[in-house]
Structure 1
Amino acid sequence: MSALLDIEDLVVEYPAEDHRGGPAAVLRGVSIAVQPGECLGIVGSHGAGKTTLGRAVLGQAPVASGSIRFKGRDIVALSHPQRRRLDEKIQAVFRDAHGSLDPAATVEAALTEPLRAEHVPAGAAARRVRELLNQVGVPAGAGQRLPGELSGDQRQRIAIARALTLSPELIICDDPLSALDPRAGHALLELLMEVQESTGTAYVFFSPDLAAVRRISHHIAFLEQGRITERGEGGRDIPVPRFGCEWRWPGPDPIPIAPATHQAARWQRFQQTTGRPRRHADGGGRRASGGGGGAVGSRPGARRTRPPQSRRPDGRSRRRRP
């Protein structure tokens, strides 16, 4: 089977900031291949070149050498009109869904825009929008809301729906879980897997989280300082254990706070062992220092940090007036 996306010896260079040195290479001879319907995970720390690689596939990075072939066609030197026609086949989901959505446009308008650009009738476009919202697990009423009225998880789901609008063959997922908490990120990861199984869309999934990449990917490549250093198999069919030292996703539940009775029992054992009484916050266990009614524990002549307090007849404290 021929690869859907085939990248060979890709080099991406950006000009030096001071214009005195040579160009800075961000990607150095990267070669990867993505088969139809599979997910290739790219693992790398921040600054390794993951976003640059995704931008190169989308035609948004300066390619110095190498080739990027989509369905056997080199897409590096495509003209702007040719690139626009390719957008319906290659889409992207970015880490900042709020920044990728128009804050002044409703969700329905954002999803309808690419359909209207392809001259889809209004009725068919409305049905497609309802289908997409149901597919990504967003209530149908969210179509009339603005992106700022949605949660971060819902905005990321809308970004996935917009990427699926024209039924692409490849989606670039640029660390789409980084802005979400672990529980929402895990749910979104499962959603991406369900979407891929139902649509057959191929993914290139970028993330610094190895556990998340192993969960969703069929194959993995490790990107370090602009180079592919290792390759391996993903864990798409491996269930995620709830606890474990190797897997960090979605992580164990937070440790609950011990109840008050448990804390009291700990203090009682401490007193029996050490013979020292517990010091309470009311100052009963503190040593009072003499001299002039100063603050407890203060040195003579030291600046008072708060005014002295006295007790009212009802037991409440009040500040003395100077």
Structure 2
Amino acid sequence: MPDLATPLIAWYGSNARDLPWRRPGFGAWGTLVSEFMLQQTPVSRVIPHLDAWLSRWPTPAALAADPPAEAVRQWANLGYPRRALWLHRAAVEIRDRHDGVVPREVDELLALTGIGDYTARAVAVFAYGDRHPVVDTNTRRVLARAVEGRSQPGPPAKTDLARMAALLPPVDEEAAILNAATMELGAVICTARTPRCDACPISDRCAWRAAGCPDTGDARRKQARYEGSDRQARGAVLRMLRHADAHAVRLDEVIADWPDARQRDRAIDSLVADGLAEAVEGTLRLPV
């Protein structure tokens, strides 16, 4: 396997974006919150929400002390609002199980609500500096091209962690930088649609480029259309509940003008099932 670590680490040192979670002293709680927010949400949208969130709740205990409705309300338009509910539950668990300190061990992080392989390792590596492979969508694309010679990665698999682990330098600090550098390369250079191979620091050792950049197919699951979807209806219901402050809204008044009554009812039912809303005596409200 070619040495990708040396050129990637050097490139990252000169080209890494200045992002809040990369600054010294950002802390494990900030890292955890940022990783929750960054799931399927662009960096540009996350930063202002992250700043507001950490100003309001600078510790897990601070968030845990407020009702989950406040977390859902503060989440605003970030999308996939179950993340707000999961983050609130994780904060409660951190307060109650770990004395308010975000745990360091991957197994303990995985035991928290809403945390999977990626987020657990991201916190352990980027907040605590431990040596683990961290694999997100951008990392998987870089590995697919540079190592496997494919234009796009296949579905996520446990083998992704092994592939990334094989590239990590033995020194913890350098391993953490390589994880971040690989993600950064996929985000800004080795992008899904228009990779900038001329600006890539590992283009001379990339298996896909050496093969002539062939189109090897794309097995990624396509994002369903948002306009007219149940997701859009769910978002409209939550938006109404957030703007209602602490008040409940009569069920017959919840997005009463929605063009598809059945879809409206499905949205309400699914939000209640997910714990994002509560139906009480003919009204709907955010979870208490």
What range describes the TM-score normalised by the shorter chain of this pair? under 0.3
- TM-score, length of structure 1 as denominator length: 0.22
Q: Which has the higher helix share?
A: 2
Q: Which has the higher strand share?
A: 1
- TM-score, length of structure 2 as denominator length: 0.24
Q: Which one has the largest radius of gyration?
A: 1
